[in-house]
Structure 1
Amino acid sequence: MKQVILFIFIAILAFTGCHDVKIGFLKAEGAEYVPDSIVIPAKLVTAEENPWTNDQIRIDNNSPWLTNAISGVLGTEPLHYEFVSVKAFDGGNADLFSKEIVVRGNGRMEVPLRPTAPKGRYLVTIKVSNEGYSAVLPDVFTFIIK
Protein backbone atom coordinates (compact mmCIF):
# COMPACT_ATOMS: atom_id res chain seq x y z
CA MET A 1 0.00 0.00 0.00
CA LYS A 2 2.85 2.37 0.84
CA GLN A 3 4.36 1.72 -2.56
CA VAL A 4 1.09 2.58 -4.32
CA ILE A 5 0.72 5.86 -2.40
CA LEU A 6 4.37 6.70 -3.08
CA PHE A 7 3.91 5.91 -6.77
CA ILE A 8 0.78 8.11 -6.98
CA PHE A 9 2.58 10.95 -5.17
CA ILE A 10 5.55 10.77 -7.55
CA ALA A 11 3.21 10.63 -10.56
CA ILE A 12 1.38 13.77 -9.35
CA LEU A 13 4.69 15.58 -8.89
CA ALA A 14 5.84 14.52 -12.35
CA PHE A 15 2.64 15.72 -14.05
CA THR A 16 2.58 19.07 -12.25
CA GLY A 17 6.27 19.62 -12.94
CA CYS A 18 5.87 19.06 -16.67
CA HIS A 19 4.38 22.31 -17.90
CA ASP A 20 5.57 24.87 -20.42
CA VAL A 21 7.92 27.38 -18.91
CA LYS A 22 8.38 30.68 -20.71
CA ILE A 23 11.92 31.32 -21.77
CA GLY A 24 13.61 34.56 -20.74
CA PHE A 25 12.24 37.81 -19.40
CA LEU A 26 11.61 41.44 -20.37
CA LYS A 27 11.43 44.46 -18.08
CA ALA A 28 10.82 47.82 -19.72
CA GLU A 29 9.05 49.83 -17.01
CA GLY A 30 11.95 52.26 -16.62
CA ALA A 31 12.80 52.53 -20.32
CA GLU A 32 13.79 56.01 -21.49
CA TYR A 33 15.96 57.94 -23.87
CA VAL A 34 18.52 60.37 -22.48
CA PRO A 35 17.98 63.02 -23.75
CA ASP A 36 14.34 62.36 -24.60
CA SER A 37 14.07 64.82 -27.50
CA ILE A 38 15.99 66.17 -30.48
CA VAL A 39 15.57 69.42 -32.40
CA ILE A 40 15.90 69.10 -36.17
CA PRO A 41 16.29 72.39 -38.05
CA ALA A 42 14.01 72.69 -41.07
CA LYS A 43 16.77 74.61 -42.87
CA LEU A 44 20.40 73.64 -42.43
CA VAL A 45 23.02 76.39 -42.36
CA THR A 46 25.91 75.93 -44.80
CA ALA A 47 29.50 77.05 -44.20
CA GLU A 48 29.02 79.78 -46.82
CA GLU A 49 26.19 81.26 -44.75
CA ASN A 50 27.97 80.85 -41.42
CA PRO A 51 31.58 79.59 -41.25
CA TRP A 52 31.10 78.56 -37.60
CA THR A 53 28.27 76.11 -38.24
CA ASN A 54 28.37 72.39 -37.53
CA ASP A 55 25.71 71.68 -40.15
CA GLN A 56 28.22 71.65 -43.02
CA ILE A 57 29.83 68.39 -41.86
CA ARG A 58 26.38 66.81 -41.60
CA ILE A 59 25.50 68.10 -45.09
CA ASP A 60 28.77 66.82 -46.61
CA ASN A 61 28.20 63.33 -45.20
CA ASN A 62 24.40 63.33 -45.62
CA SER A 63 24.26 62.21 -41.97
CA PRO A 64 20.78 61.42 -40.66
CA TRP A 65 19.46 62.59 -37.31
CA LEU A 66 20.02 59.77 -34.83
CA THR A 67 18.89 59.25 -31.23
CA ASN A 68 20.91 57.63 -28.49
CA ALA A 69 20.26 54.01 -27.58
CA ILE A 70 17.36 53.46 -25.21
CA SER A 71 18.24 52.75 -21.59
CA GLY A 72 16.36 50.90 -18.88
CA VAL A 73 15.33 47.88 -20.96
CA LEU A 74 16.32 44.56 -19.44
CA GLY A 75 15.64 41.25 -21.07
CA THR A 76 16.86 38.12 -22.73
CA GLU A 77 18.68 38.82 -25.97
CA PRO A 78 17.98 39.29 -28.79
CA LEU A 79 15.77 42.30 -28.19
CA HIS A 80 13.83 43.59 -31.21
CA TYR A 81 12.65 47.18 -31.53
CA GLU A 82 9.98 48.38 -33.91
CA PHE A 83 8.13 51.59 -34.68
CA VAL A 84 4.48 51.54 -33.55
CA SER A 85 3.04 55.02 -34.05
CA VAL A 86 3.64 58.74 -33.98
CA LYS A 87 1.52 61.65 -32.76
CA ALA A 88 1.95 65.04 -34.41
CA PHE A 89 1.43 68.43 -32.75
CA ASP A 90 1.99 72.09 -33.66
CA GLY A 91 1.39 71.64 -37.39
CA GLY A 92 3.16 68.31 -37.86
CA ASN A 93 2.07 65.55 -40.24
CA ALA A 94 2.18 62.14 -38.55
CA ASP A 95 1.70 60.17 -41.79
CA LEU A 96 4.69 61.79 -43.51
CA PHE A 97 6.89 61.46 -40.45
CA SER A 98 6.02 57.79 -39.94
CA LYS A 99 7.26 57.01 -43.47
CA GLU A 100 10.65 58.58 -42.73
CA ILE A 101 11.51 57.20 -39.30
CA VAL A 102 13.54 53.99 -38.95
CA VAL A 103 14.17 52.11 -35.69
CA ARG A 104 17.51 50.34 -35.54
CA GLY A 105 19.31 48.15 -32.99
CA ASN A 106 19.28 49.15 -29.33
CA GLY A 107 16.22 51.27 -30.06
CA ARG A 108 18.13 53.94 -31.96
CA MET A 109 15.80 55.96 -34.18
CA GLU A 110 16.89 57.58 -37.41
CA VAL A 111 15.34 60.45 -39.38
CA PRO A 112 16.75 61.65 -42.74
CA LEU A 113 18.97 64.72 -42.87
CA ARG A 114 16.24 66.71 -44.61
CA PRO A 115 12.89 65.30 -43.50
CA THR A 116 9.88 65.98 -45.73
CA ALA A 117 7.57 66.18 -42.72
CA PRO A 118 6.55 69.76 -41.88
CA LYS A 119 7.58 71.73 -38.81
CA GLY A 120 6.03 70.40 -35.62
CA ARG A 121 6.42 68.12 -32.62
CA TYR A 122 6.35 64.36 -33.10
CA LEU A 123 5.92 61.92 -30.18
CA VAL A 124 7.05 58.42 -31.11
CA THR A 125 5.83 55.12 -29.63
CA ILE A 126 7.97 52.01 -30.07
CA LYS A 127 7.67 48.34 -29.17
CA VAL A 128 10.41 46.17 -27.70
CA SER A 129 10.11 42.40 -27.81
CA ASN A 130 11.99 39.16 -27.43
CA GLU A 131 11.01 35.50 -27.41
CA GLY A 132 7.72 35.31 -25.53
CA TYR A 133 7.50 38.90 -24.27
CA SER A 134 6.81 42.39 -25.58
CA ALA A 135 6.25 45.88 -24.22
CA VAL A 136 4.93 49.03 -25.88
CA LEU A 137 6.68 52.24 -24.83
CA PRO A 138 4.21 55.07 -25.48
CA ASP A 139 5.45 58.58 -26.34
CA VAL A 140 9.01 57.62 -25.42
CA PHE A 141 10.80 60.17 -27.64
CA THR A 142 10.05 63.61 -29.12
CA PHE A 143 11.34 64.91 -32.44
CA ILE A 144 10.96 68.66 -32.91
CA ILE A 145 11.30 70.05 -36.43
CA LYS A 146 11.82 73.82 -36.28
Structure 2
Amino acid sequence: MKQTILFLFVMVLAFSACHDVKIGYLKADNAEYYPDSLVVETDLSKVSQNKVDNDAPWVTNTISGMLGTEPLSYEFVSVRAIDGGDADIFAKEIVVRGSGRMQFPLRTEAPKGRYIVTLKVSNEDYSAILPDVFTFILK
Protein backbone atom coordinates (compact mmCIF):
# COMPACT_ATOMS: atom_id res chain seq x y z
CA MET A 1 0.00 0.00 0.00
CA LYS A 2 2.82 2.40 0.90
CA GLN A 3 4.52 1.64 -2.41
CA THR A 4 1.33 2.44 -4.33
CA ILE A 5 0.86 5.75 -2.53
CA LEU A 6 4.53 6.65 -3.03
CA PHE A 7 4.30 5.73 -6.73
CA LEU A 8 1.18 7.87 -7.20
CA PHE A 9 2.83 10.79 -5.37
CA VAL A 10 5.92 10.56 -7.60
CA MET A 11 3.75 10.39 -10.74
CA VAL A 12 1.79 13.49 -9.69
CA LEU A 13 5.03 15.40 -9.12
CA ALA A 14 6.46 14.27 -12.44
CA PHE A 15 3.28 15.14 -14.32
CA SER A 16 3.02 18.62 -12.78
CA ALA A 17 6.67 19.37 -13.57
CA CYS A 18 6.15 18.58 -17.27
CA HIS A 19 3.67 21.40 -17.80
CA ASP A 20 6.38 24.07 -17.76
CA VAL A 21 8.53 22.43 -20.42
CA LYS A 22 8.47 24.13 -23.79
CA ILE A 23 7.46 21.90 -26.67
CA GLY A 24 9.73 21.37 -29.65
CA TYR A 25 12.33 23.72 -31.03
CA LEU A 26 12.86 26.41 -33.66
CA LYS A 27 16.10 27.21 -35.43
CA ALA A 28 16.02 30.00 -37.98
CA ASP A 29 19.74 30.86 -38.22
CA ASN A 30 19.99 29.55 -41.80
CA ALA A 31 16.57 30.67 -43.04
CA GLU A 32 16.71 32.13 -46.53
CA TYR A 33 14.94 32.36 -49.84
CA TYR A 34 16.63 31.22 -53.00
CA PRO A 35 16.56 33.40 -54.96
CA ASP A 36 16.17 36.15 -52.39
CA SER A 37 14.42 38.63 -54.69
CA LEU A 38 11.63 38.78 -57.26
CA VAL A 39 11.24 41.23 -60.12
CA VAL A 40 7.60 42.29 -60.43
CA GLU A 41 6.73 43.76 -63.81
CA THR A 42 4.10 46.48 -63.35
CA ASP A 43 3.69 47.05 -67.10
CA LEU A 44 1.24 44.24 -67.91
CA SER A 45 2.04 44.45 -71.63
CA LYS A 46 5.42 42.89 -70.74
CA VAL A 47 3.83 40.02 -68.76
CA SER A 48 2.72 36.73 -70.33
CA GLN A 49 -0.84 36.81 -71.61
CA ASN A 50 -1.67 33.67 -69.68
CA LYS A 51 -0.68 35.35 -66.39
CA VAL A 52 -2.79 38.40 -67.24
CA ASP A 53 -5.81 36.34 -68.34
CA ASN A 54 -5.76 34.39 -65.08
CA ASP A 55 -4.90 37.41 -62.92
CA ALA A 56 -2.14 35.22 -61.47
CA PRO A 57 -0.27 36.83 -58.58
CA TRP A 58 3.48 37.02 -58.25
CA VAL A 59 4.62 34.24 -55.90
CA THR A 60 7.94 33.60 -54.17
CA ASN A 61 9.54 30.25 -53.55
CA THR A 62 9.21 28.69 -50.11
CA ILE A 63 11.76 29.57 -47.48
CA SER A 64 14.56 27.08 -46.86
CA GLY A 65 16.87 26.46 -43.93
CA MET A 66 14.10 26.47 -41.29
CA LEU A 67 14.28 23.79 -38.63
CA GLY A 68 11.56 23.41 -36.06
CA THR A 69 8.61 21.56 -34.69
CA GLU A 70 5.63 21.74 -37.03
CA PRO A 71 3.37 23.48 -37.60
CA LEU A 72 5.39 26.58 -38.40
CA SER A 73 3.45 29.79 -38.95
CA TYR A 74 4.74 32.71 -40.98
CA GLU A 75 3.53 36.28 -40.75
CA PHE A 76 4.40 39.61 -42.30
CA VAL A 77 6.14 41.96 -39.84
CA SER A 78 7.26 44.98 -41.85
CA VAL A 79 8.58 46.29 -45.13
CA ARG A 80 11.11 48.97 -46.00
CA ALA A 81 10.66 50.82 -49.27
CA ILE A 82 13.57 52.34 -51.17
CA ASP A 83 14.08 53.76 -54.64
CA GLY A 84 10.65 55.44 -54.74
CA GLY A 85 8.49 52.74 -53.16
CA ASP A 86 5.57 53.21 -50.76
CA ALA A 87 5.75 50.76 -47.83
CA ASP A 88 2.19 51.43 -46.62
CA ILE A 89 0.59 50.45 -49.93
CA PHE A 90 2.86 47.43 -50.32
CA ALA A 91 2.06 46.19 -46.79
CA LYS A 92 -1.66 46.17 -47.59
CA GLU A 93 -1.15 44.02 -50.69
CA ILE A 94 1.37 41.37 -49.57
CA VAL A 95 0.08 37.99 -48.36
CA VAL A 96 2.19 35.37 -46.57
CA ARG A 97 1.17 31.74 -47.05
CA GLY A 98 2.38 28.40 -45.71
CA SER A 99 6.10 27.57 -45.83
CA GLY A 100 6.82 31.30 -45.97
CA ARG A 101 5.61 31.62 -49.56
CA MET A 102 4.68 35.26 -50.28
CA GLN A 103 2.10 36.39 -52.79
CA PHE A 104 1.82 39.81 -54.40
CA PRO A 105 -1.04 40.83 -56.73
CA LEU A 106 -0.54 41.09 -60.47
CA ARG A 107 -2.31 44.45 -60.51
CA THR A 108 -0.80 46.58 -57.76
CA GLU A 109 -1.27 50.09 -56.48
CA ALA A 110 2.29 50.18 -55.11
CA PRO A 111 4.70 52.41 -57.03
CA LYS A 112 7.91 51.19 -58.59
CA GLY A 113 10.77 50.64 -56.17
CA ARG A 114 12.44 48.08 -53.94
CA TYR A 115 10.57 46.56 -51.02
CA ILE A 116 12.55 44.68 -48.38
CA VAL A 117 10.37 42.37 -46.28
CA THR A 118 10.80 41.16 -42.69
CA LEU A 119 8.88 38.08 -41.55
CA LYS A 120 8.18 36.31 -38.28
CA VAL A 121 8.15 32.52 -37.99
CA SER A 122 6.70 30.78 -34.97
CA ASN A 123 5.46 27.50 -33.61
CA GLU A 124 3.77 26.56 -30.35
CA ASP A 125 6.46 27.86 -27.97
CA TYR A 126 9.09 29.68 -30.05
CA SER A 127 9.35 32.50 -32.55
CA ALA A 128 12.05 34.23 -34.59
CA ILE A 129 12.20 37.42 -36.64
CA LEU A 130 13.72 37.10 -40.11
CA PRO A 131 14.89 40.65 -40.89
CA ASP A 132 15.24 41.78 -44.50
CA VAL A 133 14.73 38.22 -45.72
CA PHE A 134 13.32 39.00 -49.18
CA THR A 135 13.27 41.84 -51.72
CA PHE A 136 10.51 42.62 -54.20
CA ILE A 137 11.66 44.82 -57.10
CA LEU A 138 8.75 46.59 -58.81
CA LYS A 139 9.69 47.79 -62.30
TM-score (structure 1 length as normaliser): 0.82
Q: Give the Cα–Cα distance (whole angstroms) in 2 for the partners of residues 120 and 55 of structure 1.
A: 21
C-alpha RMSD of matched pairs (Å)? 1.8
Residue 25 of structure 2 corresponds to 25
Q: Give the aligned residue type for 2:28.
A: A
Residue 90 of structure 1 corresponds to 83
Deviation of the 1:18 alpha carbon: 3.0
**2:41 is the counterpart of 1:41:** yes
Q: Give the Cα–Cα distance (whole angstroms) in 1 for the partners of residues 88 and 17 of structure 2.
A: 48
Residue 113 of structure 1 corresponds to 106
**2:134 is the counterpart of 1:141:** yes
Provide, for residues 12-66 of structure 1, a one-character-per-residue CA deviation record: whole Å limited to 9, x for no partner. xx68x936211100000000000000001120226xxxxxxx6111001110000
Q: Give the Cα–Cα distance (whole angstroms) in 1 for the partners of residues 113 and 40 of structure 2.
A: 10
TM-score (structure 2 length as normaliser): 0.86
**Residue ranges of structure 1 left out of the alignment (5+ in a row):** 1-10, 47-53
Q: Between Structure 1 and Structure 2, whose CA radius of gyration is higher?
A: 1
Aligned pairs for 1:7-22 within 5 A: 18=17, 20-22=20-22
Q: Give the Cα–Cα distance (whole angstroms) in 1 for the partners of residues 32 and 54 of structure 2.
A: 29
Q: Alignment partner of 2:81: what SS?
A: strand
Give the number of equivalent residue pairs. 127
Runs of 4+ in 1 over 4 A off after TM superposition: none
Residue 4 of structure 1 corresponds to none
Q: Alignment partner of 1:131: what SS?
A: coil
Q: Give the Cα–Cα distance (whole angstroms) in 1 for the partners of residues 66 and 115 of structure 2.
A: 22
Q: Give the Cα–Cα distance (whole angstroms) in 2 for the partners of residues 123 and 55 of structure 1.
A: 25
**2:120 is the counterpart of 1:127:** yes
**Residue ranges of structure 2 left out of the alignment (5+ in a row):** 1-9
